[in-house]
Amino acid sequence: MIAIDKLCYNSRLRYENAGEKFAFAVITLCICVMSRSTATACIVLAVTGILSIWKGGIPVRRYLRFLTVPLAFLFLSTLAVMFHIKKAPLDLLAIPVGSWYLTVGTDSFLYAVQLIFTALAAVSCLYFLSFTTPVPDILEVLHRLRCPALLTELMLLIYRFIFILLETADAIATSQNCRLGNRDYKTSLRSFGLLGSALMIRAFQRSGRLYDAMEARCYDGRIHVLSENRPPRKKIIVYIIIFDTALFLFAVWRRFFS
């Protein structure tokens, strides 16, 4: 089982209404991305972190570890925004390279920081949804929102096949380790290639068996999944409306009046 799914099924917010959590995460994410404000992003980071850790019961260390995963990609992607090659040095940093300068300006640095915080806050919204809402519940919300059935079924099948392929890959890797298939770099490369080819063949075989099993059970073009009906609570809806409205007004004020 994937670590995120373990945390999700053990979360104290697991049995809250999925529509409320989905609406909060999506609306907050949209406001955060549209505002492009560092202050707004910090508020979103703080609120989603408190809800995931304090209300959801996610361990602080595990949450921070997941949150640092996208930081490497964010730092690498913002280097191109931060650094410039110019003949004249900018005000914050300048490294001479021949007759040119590898330089950083205050405006470009602040813009890069803004992009990092905005992206990290958007990821935290998705983490909140992932840490508190199982995939079948999210798919049920998408179905109620009239999302195309083909898309939700593909999402469900892909989600199911992730676990199947991980289990198969783990079994093959264990078998290779028992046969000293990773004793040095050369054999590790060969074993990795064999694992990839075997995994692809097994994936095709299992997908064929899955479709045959679905046809044997009178598959009519739609996968029916049982879902628990948890009615929404008015108090939670009011809290979501108040928070997102206040966040939107704060973002508008920061953008046009500050």
The pLDDT of residue 195 is: 84
* CA 156 vs CA 97, 132, 215, 233, 235: distances in Å: 53, 18, 17, 27, 31
Q: Which residues contact 8 (CB under 8 A, 6 or more apart)?
A: 14, 130, 131, 132, 133, 134
Cα 36 to Cα 32: distance, rounded to the nearest angstrom: 6
The pLDDT of residue 240 is: 93
The pLDDT of residue 31 is: 93
Do the Cβ atoms of 78 and 115 come closer than 8 Å?
A: yes
The pLDDT of residue 23 is: 93
The pLDDT of residue 1 is: 54
The three state secondary structure string of 112-147 is HHHHHHHHHHHHHHHHHHHHHCCHHHHHHHHHHCCC
The pLDDT of residue 181 is: 75
The pLDDT of residue 91 is: 66
Cα 44 to Cα 28: distance, rounded to the nearest angstrom: 7
The pLDDT of residue 242 is: 95
Q: Give the chain's length.
A: 258
DSSP β-bridge partners for residue 63: none
Do the Cβ atoms of 48 and 128 come closer than 8 Å?
A: yes
Span 116-170, pLDDT tens digits: 899 999 999 999 998 998 888 888 888 888 888 888 888 888 887 887 788 888 8
Instruction: For the chain, list residues with pLDDT below 70.
Output: 1, 90-91, 221, 225-229, 258
DSSP β-bridge partners for residue 79: none
Q: Which residues contact 143 (CB under 8 A, 6 or more apart)?
A: 149, 152
